[in-house]
Structure 1
Amino acid sequence: MNNFREKAEEVAKKLQDYHKTVDGWTVTKKTKDGETISYRVSNEFDGYLYKGECIIDAPPATVFHYVDPVPEGPRGNWDSDMKKIEILEWLDKPDLRVNRACTASACMGLISPRDFVDVILTKETDSYISTNGVSVSYEKCPEEKKYVRGWNYPCGLICEKLPGEPNKTKLVSLIQPDIGGMLPRSLVDQAIPGSMSAFFTELKNTLKKNEASKS
C-alpha cells in the first residue's frame, strides 16, 4: 500500500507541474463555450499528453462530486464514455483506492471497449480538489475478453477554486492514455480531443438540468 501511495503522490505532483506549465502546448480544439483542448509530447510514453480546460458554473465540491469516478457517484449516469466503474480495493479510506473503469466503443466502433485499472488518490488543498491516477498491475483483476486492457499514464481531473468566485470552478482534465490494441496512432489522436470536449459538454448539461430541477 505504501508503494501505491508514493506512486499516487508522485502523480499528483506531476499533474500540478503539467497544469502550471504554460509553454509547449498546441491547441487542437477550442469551442465557443470556452473549452480548450491542447496537447504536447508526453514524457511518459510514445504519445501525447492532453489537457482540457473550461469554466464550470458550479462550486468546486459540486463539480468534483460529478466527475469523481466512483460507482456510487453520478459520473456513470451522465458520462457516455464511461460504461462501468468499480472500486477493486480501498487501500486507505477515504482517499486512496484501486479503480477499474470500462469505456464504451468509439469512432463508430473502430475503437472497441477498453478497461483501465488505476490507483487513484483524491487530494484537496486550499486551491483545488483533484483525482490523481495512474495504471497499475493488479493481479486480482485479470483481463476480460470483451475489453482491451489500456494503460493510463499519470492522469487526473483538477477542480480549481477561483478566488472571489465560490460558485465557479476551473476544471482541468489531463490524460495520456495508451489504449492498447493494434490501432493506428492517428485514429487515437483524432478521437481524444472530441471525447474530451464531449465530456465537458455533457457535464455542463447535466449540472444545468439538476440545478433547474432544484428551482
Structure 2
Amino acid sequence: MEGLPDAAAFATKLKNTLIQYHSIEDDVWRVAKKTRDVTIWRKPSEEFNGYLFKAQGVIDDVVNAVMDHICPGPCRLDWDSLMTSLDILEHFEENCCVMRYTTAGQLWNIISPREFVDFSYTVDYQGGLLSCGRSLEWSEKRPEFVRGYNHPCGWFCVPLKESAHQSLLTGYIQTDLRGMIPQSAVDTAMASTLINFYGDLRKALLQKA
C-alpha cells in the first residue's frame, strides 16, 4: 500500500494523537466562531503552519446514528454540502480504510475544489466512538483538483450524560488546503465550514427520523 506500510500501527498512532488533542487544556484554545449551539476554537498546529481547530456541539440523536453519517460511506455524500465525491480505495478491516474524496470550491471559489486521500479509522471510545483520519502521500493526482492534506483529525461522539438520546460531538480538524491562498482566507473558511457541518448533520438526522 503506497505510503502505508503498517495499517494497525498507523491506526494506533493516529488514535493516540487524537486522544492527546482531546486532553488539551481549555485555556490553550481561543474561540474562532460561536453560534447558539456550536463553538469553534483554534490553536496553532504543531503539524504545519496553520491552525488546529476544535468544534463542539450537542446533536439530538444517538451515537451510532450520528457516526453512521460521519464515517466514510455513501451516507456522507447525501448530506455533507461540501463533499462532492467519496470513493473507498481500500478496506483493511470493517473500521479501517483508505478513501479519496473531493470538496467543492469555497468563498466564492477563492478556494478552488480540493481532493484528499485519507486513511480513516473508527474505534470505540468511552461509551461512544472516535472516527479519525490522516492524509496519505498518494502519487495519482487529477489535474482538475488541488491536492489538500489533512493532518491528524477526527470526531469524538459520546452519549450526553444527562440525556442518552443526545450526543456530544467534538471534532479536531487541521487541514492544509495548499495552493495559492492566504492563510486568513483558509481560517475564515474553516470556522464557517465547521459551523455549517453541524447544521447540515442536524438536518440530515431530522430527515432520517
- Give the TM-score, by structure 2 length: 0.93
CA displacement at 1:57 relative to structure 2: 0.7
Worse-matched range after superposition: 12-21 or 180-189: 12-21
Separation in 1, partners of 2:146, 2:5: 29
Please state how far the C-alpha of 1:207 moved relative to its aligned partner: 1.2
Asked whether 1:83 is paired with 2:84, we answer yes
State the partner residue of 1:26.
Answer: 30
CA RMSD of aligned residues (A): 1.4
| 1:106-148 CA distance string (max 9 Å, x none) | 0011111001111111111342212111111234xx1101110
Q: TM-score, normalised by structure 1?
A: 0.91
1:42 paired residue number: 45
SS of 2:120's equivalent in the other structure is strand
Distance in 1 separating the partners of 2:162 and 2:110: 45
Moved >6 Å (runs of 4+) = none
Query: In structure 1, what is the equivalent of residue 145 of structure 2?
Result: 147
Cα distance in 1 for residues equivalent to 2:5 and 2:112: 34
The worse-fitting range, judged by mean Cα deviation, of 2-11 and 199-208 is 2-11
SS in 1 for 2:28: coil
- Distance in 2 of aligned mates of 1:170 and 1:20: 16
User: Residues of 1 paired with 2:84 and 2:205: CA distance?
Assistant: 20
Q: CA deviation at 1:165?
A: 2.4
Q: CA deviation at 1:81?
A: 0.3
- For residues 5 and 104 of structure 1, the distance between their equivalents in structure 2, rounded to whole angstroms, comes to 32
The code of the aligned residue for 2:31 comes to: V
Q: Quote the residue 1:138 is aligned against.
A: 138
Give the structure 2 partner of residue 63 of structure 1: 66
Look up the SS of the partner of 2:27 in the other structure.
Answer: coil
Percent of residue pairs bearing the same amino acid type: 33
Give distance in 1, aligned partners of 2:194 and 2:119.
21
Q: Distance between the aligned counterparts of 1:175 and 1:125, measured in 2?
A: 18
- Structure 1 alignment gaps of length 5 or more: none
> How many residues of Structure 1 are paired with residues of Structure 2 in the alignment?
205
Question: Secondary structure, in 3 states, of the residue corresponding to 2:184?
Answer: helix
Structure 2 residue 167 is the aligned partner of structure 1 residue 175: no
Structure 2: how far apart are the matches of 1:68 and 1:29? 25
Q: State the match for 1:99 in structure 2.
A: 99
Given that 1:9 and 1:121 are in contact with CA atoms closer than 8 Å, whether structure 2 keeps it comes out as no
